[in-house]
Structure formats: C-alpha cells, structure tokens
Amino acid sequence: MMKTTRILAVAVVAALISGNANATPFQPVLDEFWITKNFVEIFRDSFDDGVVPASGPDGPSTYFVEGPVGMSSETSGTPAQGKLTMDPILGIPVFNPVGNINIRTAARRLLSRNPNNANFLGVADSFSVNALFDLSSLPDVPASGFGVRIEDRGTGGGNNDQVLLEVARSRNTGNLLILFQELDFTTPSIEIMDAILFQPILDANPTATQIQLSITKVANTNVVDGSFTLFNSGGGMLLNQPVDNIGNVSNTAVQIYNGEDYTRGAFQARTQMVVPEPTTTALLALGLMGAGYVRRRRCH
C-alpha cells in the first residue's frame, strides 16, 4: 500500500513540474542585503560565504526562508563577488491578502524579536531595509517581481501589515514597474502607493547594471517611505528617486505598527502560478483520484 501511495505522489509532482516547464526563466540576482537602525548599519549580507539562506551573518538560522530550493549562491571568482541567485518558480505557493496565488522564494531576517536586543526595530527607531539587485534578469511575466519587504509583528504573535517595494511586472497590464504596495492581512486589502513605469527609466539610463531598493522609516512615527537608486557597472550613481507613499485610493500614507511591536526586513522574488496544460491537468486529476482511492481502501 505504501509503495502504491508513493507512486501516485510521484505522478502528482510530475504533473505539476511539467505544467511549469514552459515558464520563461526568471532568476533575479541579489548582490547585497543590509539594514540600518538609527543611521547605524546593524546587518549586512554580501552572500560571499558560499552557503545559501537560512545561513547568513547571524549564523545558520539568520533567516526564515520560504522556498529554500529557489535560492543558490554564486561563488565564482573572489569571495567579494558572491551573489545570491533566486529562482522563484522553485519556491512555494503563497496567497496575498486578496486571494491571488504567487510562487515565491523569500528570506526574512529573524534576529529582531526581543525588545532588549540591539537589532529590534520598534516604532521609536528610525531604520532602513535595503537590497541591491543586478538588472541582468528582469521580471518576465505578469505578477512576477523581485524586491525588499518589511512586516510588522507583535511580541505575542500576529502579523498585520507588509510593505513591499519591487521591480515587478504588472498583473493587469504587463508593464514593467517600480511597485510600492501595502498589504493588510487583517482588512484584508492591498493598496498600491506608487507604480512607476520602469522601462522608460532604463531606456534613459542604458548603462545601469544594478538597482538599490530601500524602505525607510523615521523615528517615532509609523509612516514608511520608499526609494530606488540606479548604479552603473563602476558603482557610480545614475539616478535616485523616491516613490510616492500616498498615491492610493484611501489617501492614507503607508503605515506599520498598527498595534504591533516590531518590524523585520526581508527580500524576495515571485512569479505567477502557471496553469498546467490540458494533458497535465488530466494527469494531475488522475493522480489525485488515485490517491483518493488508496485512502478509501485504507479507511475500509
């Protein structure tokens, strides 16, 4: 019986994999991820130790990782050239607040939950969460993107708000955007604060090779801002531009700490859920039916 169950499980997995086989490769590359608190850098990961997250500067449990299979370290050349390549199609399915499903691989720094810890990011602190990405692999299909994220949490549990700044391909129009969003899992709702057309900016800066995405907060406030910066291959800054944090229908600025105590920074890459082709769908249905049959026999 156990052998039969394993065979059916393999069939289901094979169906899912074949359904994703025709997806265009999208593999964003992350060069640096760092956090400052009260204008002092408290964390930096340069991805040059040859070990992928969850490992990092804080040790083997630096991050909580979603879809760890979707992360691989580039260690060719000198250690200073270390980078993290993400393959979101190998991540895990996640729901956003309005019920859409994306496939995501992400890493959230963990060392910031204790208010007595110097890494704690509370409402009284100013902070910035930053990620420097290569522009070598841009989002290729609607609802795909890479970027930086913060989320607030309570010391007793709970997770209300996430703020996300991405280079993303619009789910609705297919345009390449700098997208600034607030995700509220209590309401639930998503508010787009700003959506800047990114392709014209790239066309105007043809030597750009990297983009820095930054989410910042001023001390003793719960209002959050975002910005992006373009660099050329020599590290020279080409453009620095803030994003609007109040361009939404509710006319309310991006906010965190609505009853929560602290914030943690994360980086991520996502892509849309690929719908299996008809033959794949049939195979998947057959596998699930078989699994149900095995379960019924076991129950009897």
- Write the pLDDT tens digit of every residue in 35-78: 999 999 999 999 988 899 999 999 999 999 999 999 987 664 44
| pLDDT, position 254 | 79
pTM over 0.85: no
**Rounded average pLDDT over 230-239:** 97
Rounded CA separation 29/71 (Å): 10
Q: Which residue has the tokens 């008809």?
A: 278
Q: Tens digits of per-residue pLDDT, 74-131?
A: 664 444 468 999 999 999 999 988 888 999 999 999 987 778 889 999 889 999 999 9
Q: 278: cis peptide before it, omega within 30°?
A: no
User: Above pLDDT 90, what percent of the chain?
Assistant: 56
Q: Tens digits of per-residue pLDDT, 235-290?
A: 999 999 999 887 666 667 878 887 788 899 999 999 987 555 444 444 444 444 44
Lowest-confidence pick of 151-155, 258-262, 295-299: 295-299
| pLDDT, position 246 | 76
The residue ranking higher by pLDDT, 82 or 170, is 170
Helix (H) or strand (E) holding 286: helix 278-299
Rounded CA separation 36/8 (Å): 49
Rounded CA separation 189/186 (Å): 8
Question: If pLDDT is split at 50, 70 and 90, which confidence band does 167 have?
Answer: very high
Q: Which residue has the tokens 């959506």?
A: 195
- Candidates 239, 182, 186, 175; CA nearest to 215 is 182
Question: If pLDDT is split at 50, 70 and 90, which confidence band does 158 have?
Answer: low
| pLDDT, position 282 | 47
Strand partners, 217: 127, 224
At position 137, the amino acid (one-letter code) is S
- Counted residue by residue, the chain has a size of 300
Rounded CA separation 277/295 (Å): 27
Q: Do 103 and 91 form a contact (C-beta atoms < 8 A)?
A: yes
